[in-house]
Structure 1
Amino acid sequence: MRDQWYITLVVTFFLKISFAQEEVKASNPCYGIKTCGLCIATAAECAWCSDESFDKINRQRCDLYVNLNDTCTRTNLFYPSNELTNQKDEPVRDGTGEHDAIQIQPQQVYIKIRPNTPHTFKLKFRQAENYPVDLYYLMDLSNSMEDDKDKLASLGNLIAQNMQAITKNFRLGFGSFVDKVVMPYVSTVKEKLESPCRNCEAPYSFKNQLPLDKDTSKFETYVRRANISGNLDAPEGGFDAIMQTIICQQIGWRNVSRKLLVYSTDAGFHIAGDGKLGGIVKPNDGYCHLSPAGKYTEAENQDYPSISQIAMKVREKNINVIFAVTDDQVPVYRKLSQYIEGSEAELLANDSSNIVEVIRRNYEKITSKVELSTQYTENITVSFKSSCKGRTLTDTSSCEGLAIGDNVTFDVTVSVTQCAPEASKKIRAFSIYPVGLGEKLDITLEINCECECEKPEFDVEKSPQCNGNGTFECGQCTCDEGRYGKKCECDGSETTSDESLKKCINPNDTVPVVCSGRGECICGVCECFPREKHSAQRFSGPFCECNDYSCSYHNDLLCGGQGMCKCGVCQCNDNFKGDACECPTSTNFCKAANGEICNGVGECKCGSCVCNASLSYRGPTCEECPTCPGKCDENKACALCVAFQTGPYSKEECDEKCKHVKPVTKIDEDEVNKNNLKNLCQYEDDEDDCVFFFTYEYGPGNEVEIEVQQTKVCPESVNILAIVLGTIGGIVLVGLILLLIWKLFTTIHDRREFAKFEKETQNAKWDTGENPIYQQATSTFKNPMYAGKN
């Protein structure tokens, strides 16, 4: 009996310790970490104490820094912080004759960083004046682009003038393309190979006509000198030309410049795989193959590049591609630009007359925006924040609306989540760059995964502190093979003896398993495993039989946040119950406005109402009933039969169903409005069109009490005779008035006419004694030839 009591006491003791430890682990990610390097890599808050005394007081060497700061000797406390060193930090500046422009600061940094400890630093960007610009015009010179070529030649100087107004450090180049010189892209008939069309040059894939040159006057000459050519199918071999333009040194791209590639065409493009139509199966290798004369030499041997190859090279060389295409091709190239970083698709006039405006507008769009991107950041997290030109700091890697001279500052946060197992990968290099620019910030990242005390020169092998059976490092023993315990005091061979294993087997298990299969038996005591690799959460209990993290969840919280998980079962706080402590024991949330639980038409389960499915009531407290008649509708018939002996109920039905209705002389509406318990109802009686009123309220026991006013409000009777006579009189009166108005106007008009007649009579010029129409009976004539001769 005494032995049984002793065993129970021991088990209870271990359980209490286990529960206490699990509570700590839930809020302390550092708990249970066994080495210094892994400790500082677990979380930013973790620190390691190498004091020997920690074994005596049974403290965890890996713990939160706030817990160790006052208890560990300062020299033995390992809590490394992130360190940043600027290796190249030239200030941003405009481009001058002596110095190139610098738009990003710093240029090189070295960061020593702990895993799971983000480090934030400032990156400055400034739009510089006279920043170098290289513009290469890549033109489709198939027969359909003849008028475009002539127009481009005449606009060459204008392009240069516009760009030189923006930057004095400007270079201009020109190249052309048609397609692969094989069937079915180009006719291989001998005459067509020499001249596929009238006044046409022999077909070719790509030709570098003019490398980038500061003498922009050459542009017009070389464009006019270039002849058009011809091909058979509609798509062109532009991807071959883009690839060679981007990667070939003969083009003349500068390392530090804003590189613009203007791609001009009126047709679509061939992509990887189309080469099979011409018997070309070798994939494009992504290398330069230009002859000394500037022609692409591998067009008939290698397939067209893929979109991903083009996108990769554009990103690698920091090229801004402007697809200047005709109206019917704009949708296709806009979709293409979505897959190529820093590219845009613009509408080109049929004769390329708007090319100057296209280049100027896109250059302003490109330079008015800065977007930061990263390279070689596998397993490294980089995030950006900036207020741009405003005041609110937001998560963004780009800023728009910038002008020359504007400064933008980004907060760059770098973090890693784990240590690389290979020592060679503990130092990483990556870069941050503005899209479309050759400048970048090179970052060397040293991942701090090892404490100083773990270096070989600090190890003490066969240390007396480890009973001569291990190496003493970082304040603790790393035991030799076959030895266990804090001081390597346990012989590993004992873990296989029956006596030692028996102490680690739960007597209640039907199938005996050492430490429930969740731990290791060391010196007769179970040392429980983590639930997952590198997890601070471990199994607990004297036989590792408990999992304090496997209880039910509610609202993504263990035990609903209203209890503790103990050995797989939620122990709920007061006022909560359920498997996940999801149910409040109180029914306060189920009370309806009338004070009833679930409005009397439902049941309160787990703190919420479950409404009766056979009824139409719904809502949190079963008070909503869209299809139910209201109390006014329910009691309308009773009000009519009790007060006026009318309505659908007979006298017997009225006496039976309407006992709760009481007639009153008058209902005071003001009193009803003041009394929140009373509700006023009013209806029109279909029999006499009069309005009647009644009120309802809930009495004791939630019974409805009705008061109906015994008098109705009826509309006043209408005097039909007065309306008819009035209407007739009005019509007659209006007629007389109109007749008088007509008579008045005719009288005035007659008088005016008579006065006019009299006035004309007085103005007559003839003598009233003579007849004005009288004529003599004889007439006299003279002979014009007779001049008075006898």
Structure 2
Amino acid sequence: MPRRGGLPAPAAARRPPPLLRLLLRLLLLAAPLQPGRGLNLCTSGSASSCEECLLIHPKCAWCSKEEFGSTKSVPSRCDFLKNLIANGCAGAIENPRSSSSVAKNVPLSSKGSGQTHLDVTQITPQKVALSLRPGDRTSFRVQVRQVEDYPVDLYYLMDLSLSMNDDLDNIRNLGTKLAEEMRKLTSNFRLGFGSFVDKNISPFSYTAPRYQNNPCIGYKLFPSCVPSFGFRHLLSLTDKVDRFNEEVQKQKVSRNRDAPEGGFDAILQAAVCKEKIGWRKEASHLLVFTTDDVPHIALDGKLGGLVQPHDGQCHLNEANEYSASSQLDYPSLALLGEKLAENNIHLIFAVTKSHYVLYKNFTALIPGTTVEILHKDSKNIIELIVKAYNSIRSKVELTVWDSPEDIGLTFTATCQDGLSYPGLRKCGDLKIGDTVSFEVSVEARSCPAEDTSHVFTIKPAGFRDTLEVTVTYNCLCGCTGLAEPASGKCSGNGTYACGLCECDAGYLGARCECEEGAGGETQPGLCREVEGKPVCSGRGECSCNQCVCYESEFGNIYGPFCECDDFSCARYKGVLCSGHGECHCGECKCHTGYIGDNCNCSTETASCVSSDGQMCSGRGNCICGRCQCTEPGAFGETCEKCPTCPGVCSTKRDCIECKLFNSGRLDNQTCQKHCKDELITTVDVLKTDDPNAILCAYPVNNCVMKFTYSELASGKSNLTVLKEPACSSAPSAVTIVLAVIGSVVLIGTILLGLWKLLVTIHDRREFDRFQSERTRARYEMASNPLYRKPISTHNVEFTFNKLNKSYNGTVD
């Protein structure tokens, strides 16, 4: 095995092992751009070849000039471009860059049905070629448009178990009515029909001989029905809707034993039997699945002895019946999702309200799937289908197929509002004809083991249009092709390439001048990083004045002084650098999209965007790809739940108005998006004694609509609403006048009564005081001093004497 001159390793360990290439490739964004400001990753990365240099960092370049730098400082050939030019290597630099080019770019179409099949284009460009250097990002732009009047193929798949008998009666003329509604949306509409029950084996169906022709024998409510079957394709897609009505009218229900149905068998056959169903390549594919019960899933078949997993193939016989029903297990959710996506089929679950939550959970596992609530008699099926179709056509989401593991993709969506959404690959609330664009950034994390190219596909979910991306890798230096075997520049003991010698086995040194094991003067100081430190950091031996690093069972030891390794970095849950980065010299160098000492923190924000398009519903911060709610009382994956937050009653009111009463400020599409997790029930009497429920009310036409709001363990919101607003009848004018008069009279009477009471109390007090004084008084006989008797008596003598005395001038 040849070895490059100047490498710090002899024998098998002397050239850095292949894992070192994987290690060095990922020192990306953390590198400083100028030496002297910290660690220069280019010069300290121990690159021993041009190819290894290119893997260290996208800004590192290699000098292939023969006389460059000192013989000791082999890594000095690997440096920033600016430094290499300054050091005199302007004409011999290897520094390839990533690039992108458009190979096919047909403009977007404006209409669908008015053009030929090959003319309809909903994504541009159609082919892109990328040349990637590891760590060096390049990008290109993709545009997607939901064209107007695009053809639609709709296959109606119905559960014909006994409980769906009333539904069957209500859809006997469905074809005509559905075609009328769908032709308002597209002029090119085709309709097909199929049915299912369950596998006709025990314990899923009645298999006793007496039940073979009529499994309803002994069932009093419905004594006659057809034999059980797995799946029947009854009508290929056609624009003759009368044939749909005819086929439906021929159908009769059957009976199975257990509650779950075999609907997943039917979905898979309807998806993969393209020729028999009649799916067109140039049309939107809708598969409407109607049922009132839960489905059997993978491994349920073992109950009936079916151990062979479903193979994902078409098994319709000449009678258009599923022939492998009794041989293969039920398909898994993953297999269903794969086959539906392969054939660009939008699956619409039309299920009864009691099973809505279960099928809603399925939609998270099967991309491109929607779920709607079906009334027990299927009377709302047309409204349901139109609603689901409009919902599908109102959004665009990019999916990636066959992407290599060493390729990193990031998306930035520019939706119809003109705003950019980093980390998102979908847009919603679109109208027919809207064009949205996505910036796709691509990065190669490493070089493939062989110099090969890869092809992957980007396509909008449910579209037939695709973007084919071809990737080639810029991993080889041009100077490598000019190698000189047994070159005199290498003392005849090695191959000269890119300015360095790659020594033959048994030789060492920058020019392969040292023979392995041969005696000679050794200077240990040249094998110490700093004076006083151990020779080769204690993890190697000094040979030919260069460190030969020991091998370790834990990983690679490397560096000019064996100072570095790729196994001493921080771990998360026992995984080195969390599996999202590479360990370089004791430090995790994280892959794009991750940060942190152990690379356990994702910078992806798509998972933090709530259904209303806000980051963490405006109630928290997105940290490490998860919402940290800051609003008191907020919780949920995107902080969307907050019973105590201001305005929550107003938000729930919007959902009640649009979902129950088809009114309010939200349109149909926005309502479906914002209120998808609201479970609304109506009651005659609203209970307000639940401590976990928030009571809300809002005015409606002089009345008050009341409802309660609470969160369920499933993450849904439970809204209980009064069927009718609480209203008080307005009093008449006469009633008001009489009430006023009565009030005045009543108040006057009360005031008079109070006055009379006070007067009476006062009089009684005065009378009592009078009586008291009367009893205390004592009287004696006397004459009235003012009384004069009518007879007067005069004493003349006395008067005379008195007068006489006065006369004498004396007083008696």
Look up the SS of the partner of 1:433 in the other structure. strand
Shift of 1:246: 1.0
Q: CA deviation at 1:320?
A: 1.2
Find the residue that maps to 1:357 and give its secondary structure: helix
Q: Give the match for residue 102 of structure 2.
A: 86
The 2-side partners of 1:289 and 1:329 are apart by 29
Instruction: Give 1:38's aligned residue.
Output: 52
Equivalent residue, structure 2, for 1:373? 399
Cα separation, partners in 2 of 1:531 and 1:417, compared to 1, 3 Å: farther
1:167 aligns with 2:186: yes
Partner residue in 2 for 1:288: 314
The whole-number CA distance in structure 1 between the counterparts of 2:529 and 2:228 is: 90
Q: Which amino acid aligns with 2:542?
A: C
Residue 231 of structure 2, aligned match among 206, 216, 223: 206
Q: 1:135 aligns with which of 147, 150, 154?
A: 154
Residue 137 of structure 1, CA deviation: 0.7
- For 1:323, the equivalent position in structure 2 comes to 349
Deviation at 1:393, TM superposition (A): 2.0
**Pick aligned residue for 1:411 from 439, 452, 465:** 439
Distance in 2 between the 1:43 and 1:546 partners?
A: 17
Q: Residues 530 and 70 of structure 1: is their aligned pair in 2 closer, same or farther, counting only changes over 3 Å?
A: farther
Is 1:470–2:494 an aligned residue pair? yes
Distance 1:25 1:528 in 2: 26
1:400 matched to 2:424: no
Report SS of the residue matched to 1:411.
strand
Q: 2:176 corresponds to which residue? A: 157
1:523 and 2:548 equivalent? Answer: no
C-alpha deviation, 1:255, in angstroms = 2.8
What is the distance in 1 between the residues matched to 2:197 and 2:389?
27
Aligned-partner SS, 1:54: coil
Contact 1:22 1:538 in 2 (8 A): no
Distance 1:78 1:505 in 2: 30
CA contact (8 A) 2:402 2:455 kept: yes
8 Å contact kept, 2:456–2:470: yes
Asked if the contact 1:25–1:536 (Cα under 8 Å) also holds between the matched residues in 2, the reply is no
- Work out whether 1:119 is the aligned partner of 2:147: no
Shift of 1:227: 2.2
1:201 Cα shift? 2.2
Determine the structure 1 residue equivalent to 2:63: 49
Instruction: Give the SS at the match of 2:302.
Output: helix
Q: 1:652 corresponds to which residue?
A: none
Give the TM-score normalised by structure 1: 0.62
One-letter identity of the residue aligned with 2:225: C
Tell me: CA distance 1:116–1:736, structure 2 relative to 1, closer, same or farther (3 Å).
closer
Please tell me the residue identity of whatever aligns with 1:44. P
**Change over 3 Å in CA distance of 1:505–1:475 after alignment to 2:** closer
Equivalent position amino acid for 1:345 in 2: V
Which residue number in structure 2 is paired with residue 98 of structure 1?
116
C-alpha distance in 1, partners of 2:256/2:564? Answer: 78
Residue 518 (structure 1) shift: 3.0
Amino acid at match of 2:105: D
Q: Which runs of 5+ in 2 are unaligned?
A: 1-33, 217-222, 571-584, 587-750, 761-812
Match of 1:238, as an amino acid?
G
Equivalent residue for 1:226, pick from 229, 232, 251: 251
Report the Cα offset of residue 546 of structure 1.
9.9
1:237 maps to which residue?
262
> C-alpha distance in 2, partners of 1:525/1:24?
28
Cα distance in 1 for residues equivalent to 2:555 and 2:420: 35
Q: Compute the displacement of 1:381 (Å).
A: 1.1
Q: 1:85 to 1:520 in 2, by over 3 A?
A: farther
- The one of 293, 299, 304 equivalent to 1:273 is 299
CA distance in 2, matches of 1:103, 1:238: 32
**AA in 2 matched with 1:241:** A
After superposition, residues 566-715 of structure 1 pair within 5 angstroms as: none
Q: CA deviation at 1:264?
A: 0.2
Q: d(CA) in 2 for partners of 1:22 and 1:535?
A: 26
SS at match of 2:212: helix
Is this contact kept in 2: 1:136–1:174, CA < 8 A? yes
What letter corresponds to residue 247 of structure 1 in structure 2? V
TM norm structure 2: 0.60
Distance change >3 Å, CA 97–CA 509, structure 1 → 2 = closer
Contact 1:504 1:515 in 2 (8 A): no
Distance 2:144 2:531 in 1: 68
AA partner of residue 433 (structure 2): G
Q: Is the 8 A contact 2:41 2:57 kept in 1?
A: no
Using the TM superposition, give the Cα deviation of residue 370 of structure 1 relative to its aligned residue in structure 2, in angstroms.
0.7
* Aligned counterparts of 1:279 and 1:177: Cα–Cα separation in 2: 21
Structure index of larger Rg = 1
Find the aligned partners of 2:280 and 2:417 in 1 and give their Cα distance: 34
In structure 2, the residue matched to 1:359 is: 385
Note the alpha carbon deviations across 1:524-557, whole angstroms, 9 max, x for none.
Answer: 34477999999999465xxx6799x9999xxxxx
RMSD: 3.7
- Give deviations 1:358-411, integer Å, cap 9, x for gaps: 111111111111111212222321110023123432221111111111111110
Tell me what 2:736 maps to: none
Q: Is 1:481 equivalent to 2:481 in the alignment?
A: no
Q: Which amino acid aligns with 2:419?
A: T
Shift of the 410–402 alpha-carbon distance from structure 1 to 2, 3 Å rule, reads: same
What is the distance in 2 between the residues matched to 1:520 and 1:90? 63
Counterpart among 196, 212, 215 of residue 215 in structure 2: 196
**In structure 1, which of residues 294, 303, 311 is the aligned counterpart of residue 329 of structure 2?**
303
Q: Is the 8 A contact 1:531 1:537 kept in 2?
A: no
Contact 2:134 2:446 (C-alpha < 8 Å) held by counterparts: yes
**Which is worse superposed, 274-283 or 53-62?**
53-62
Contact 1:501/1:514 (8 A) holds in 2: no
- Contact persistence 1:466–1:479 (CA under 8 A): yes
Residue of structure 2 equivalent to 1:389: 416
- CA pair 337-736 structure 1, distance change in 2 beyond 3 A: closer
Q: Secondary structure at the match of 2:303?
A: helix
1:524/1:240 CA distance change after superposition, 3 Å: same
Question: In structure 2, which of residues 522, 527, 530 is the aligned counterpart of residue 500 of structure 1?
Answer: 522
What per-residue deviation string (whole Å, max 9, x for no partner) do you get for residues 174-201 of structure 1?
1000111112222123342112234522
> What is the CA–CA distance in structure 2 between the aligned matches of 1:101 and 1:48, rounded to whole Å?
48
Q: Confirm or deny: 8 A CA contact 1:373 1:432 kept in the other structure.
A: yes
Q: 1:275 and 1:404 mapped to 2: Cα distance?
A: 43
C-alpha distance after superposition, 1:580-624 (max 9, x if no partner): xxxxxxxxxxxxxxxxxxxxxxxxxxxxxxxxxxxxxxxxxxxxx
Aligned counterparts of 1:535 and 1:22: Cα–Cα separation in 2: 26
- Asked if the contact 2:394/2:431 (under 8 Å) is kept, the reply is yes
Cα distance in 1 between the residues matched to 2:408 and 2:485: 39
Could you report, residue by residue, the CA deviation over 1:249-307 in whole angstroms, capped at 9, with x for unpaired residues? 21122234321111001111112222222232222222111012210001111111122
Name the SS of the counterpart of 1:500 in structure 2.
Answer: coil
Output one character per residue of 1:619-666: Cα deviation in whole Å (capped at 9) or x when no partner: xxxxxxxxxxxxxxxxxxxxxxxxxxxxxxxxxxxxxxxxxxxxxxxx
- Which residue does 1:661 correspond to in 2? none
Structure number with the bigger relative contact order (C-alpha 8 A, sep ≥ 6) is: 2
1:452 to 441, 462, 478: 478
Between the aligned residues of both structures, percent identity stands at 39
TM-fit CA distance, 1:490 = 2.2
Distance of 2:251 and 2:64 partners within structure 1: 78
Deviation, 1:316, is 2.6
Cα deviation for residue 170 of structure 1 reads 2.1
**Structure 1: gaps of 5 or more residues:** 1-20, 553-566, 569-733, 744-790
Q: 1:173 to 1:516 in 2, by over 3 A?
A: same
User: What is the CA–CA distance in structure 2 between the aligned matches of 1:217 and 1:308, rounded to whole Å?
Assistant: 36
Report the Cα distance in structure 1 between the residues aligned to 2:295 and 2:128, rounded to whole angstroms: 43
Q: Are the structure 2 counterparts of residues 505 and 116 from structure 1 closer, same or farther at C-alpha, using a change threshold of 3 Å?
A: closer
- Residues 1:740 and 1:526: Cα distance change in structure 2 (over 3 Å): closer
